[in-house]
Amino acid sequence: MNTAVTHPANKGDLIVKAIVLVIAAALLFAPFLFQDVRSVEVAARICIFVVLVASYDLLIGYTGIVSFAHTMFFGFGAYGVAILLKQMGPGWGPVVLGTLAGVTVSIIVATLIGLLSLRVKAIFFAMITLAAASVVLVLASQLSGFTGGEDGITYRVPDLFKPATKLMVDEDGKVLRILGVKMNGKLAAYYFVFLTCFILFLFLLRVVASPLGTVLEAIRENEGRAEGIGYRVVAYRTFVFCLAATMASIAGSVYAVWLKYTGPDTALSFAIMIDILLMVVIGGMGTMWGAVIGATLMVLAQYYLRDLMAVASEATSAIPLLPDLLAPDRWLFWLGIIFILLVYFFPAGLAGTIMKKESH
């Protein structure tokens, strides 16, 4: 069993937690530290993906369940809120009802998949989840009258989150600025995302630190032994599958409120599933803290690697071939190289490797 997870007092744990604390502080003060629109968008996306990756780590890292349906549950939450906001208009009622609807559908589907499929071998279960996610993606694209089809759904959010909303005003009645940041609805929307994701992540941390987390690790290490000492393995695996689906669905609902648009590409795309897998591997499976590190690095690379390569290409313009290799259009190639190097030097992910290395 992973001693780095079960004995959190070693130096490696402290290093990882310090890194996570720095990231959390940067996200908390992101609107004040990085005042351009793009940076705040990146920070909100990191918050959402931290929850997505942490909930997926609960499946693959702690319980040994390989699923390709995580974005499906994310999509249920996003579409639940989007459809009700579109039909009922902006307000907290549609947000709450949409979130509940997304969670309900996610739990029902996760239970059905879990009870029917978790008895089979891992590869067959993975294929079943992939098939289910593909079916939902096709339905979302084709049921245009209900889901908006390929164009998706655009809608208005509660008044609190509108940029024109004045949270605080100065003596002249204008929007108050603190450290150059407008106290308006956009700021409220960001902190809605941050606080919700922070609470969800703390909940997941509590789950893995509880006796349930120990049982899940026992199932991952030796399913037969866990069943032999009296644990109902299928029941536990189905429960954790439903729990992870619920977390992903709520994250989808929050993202829908932030983005004010929901479509197949933003909520159900298989590319999102690939991103989640990469983030789990980069951060470290079975660590939970790795979700924060992996999500942060991956999202930053997706948004800023191309810009860095453009600068590098210009700086090396006098050197033959190098500017072409560093051309911004080749950012995916270099992202792949970086990923390979990370896996080679940090085989258990960044958090996992640091914890193991420093614990010996």
Alpha carbon distance, N-terminus to C-terminus of the chain: 15
Burial code (b: 16+ CB inside 10 Å, e: under 16) for 13-31 equals beebbebbeebbeebeebb
How confident is the model at residue 6, as a pLDDT? 44
Span 171-226, pLDDT tens digits? 766 777 777 777 888 889 999 999 999 999 999 999 998 888 888 888 777 777 87
How confident is the model at residue 1, as a pLDDT? 41
How confident is the model at residue 9, as a pLDDT? 55
Strands (E), the chain: 153-154, 177-178, 181-182, 261-262
How confident is the model at residue 2, as a pLDDT? 45
Q: What is the CATH T-level fold of the domain 31-289, as seen in this structure?
A: ABC transporter involved in vitamin B12 uptake, BtuC (1.10.3470)
- Tell the burial category of 252 from Cβ atoms under 10 Å away from its Cβ (0-12, 13-18, 19+): buried
| Nearest one of 70, 66, 68, 26 to 47, comparing CA atoms | 26
How confident is the model at residue 203, as a pLDDT? 95
| Residues contacting residue 353 through CB under 8 Å, at least 6 positions apart | 284, 345, 346, 347
C-alpha span between 140 and 134 (Å, rounded): 10
C-alpha span between 194 and 48 (Å, rounded): 8
Span 246-291, pLDDT tens digits? 999 999 999 999 999 999 999 999 999 999 999 999 998 888 899 9
How confident is the model at residue 104, as a pLDDT? 96
C-alpha span between 244 and 355 (Å, rounded): 24
| Nearest one of 331, 264, 255, 291 to 41, comparing CA atoms | 255
Residue stretches of the chain with pLDDT short of 50 = 1-8
How confident is the model at residue 242, as a pLDDT? 93
How confident is the model at residue 121, as a pLDDT? 67
How confident is the model at residue 118, as a pLDDT? 64
How confident is the model at residue 196, as a pLDDT? 95
C-alpha span between 284 and 58 (Å, rounded): 12
Helix (H, G, I), strand (E, B) or coil at 124: helix
Q: Are the beta carbons of 126 and 59 closer than 8 angstroms?
A: no
How confident is the model at residue 163, as a pLDDT? 79
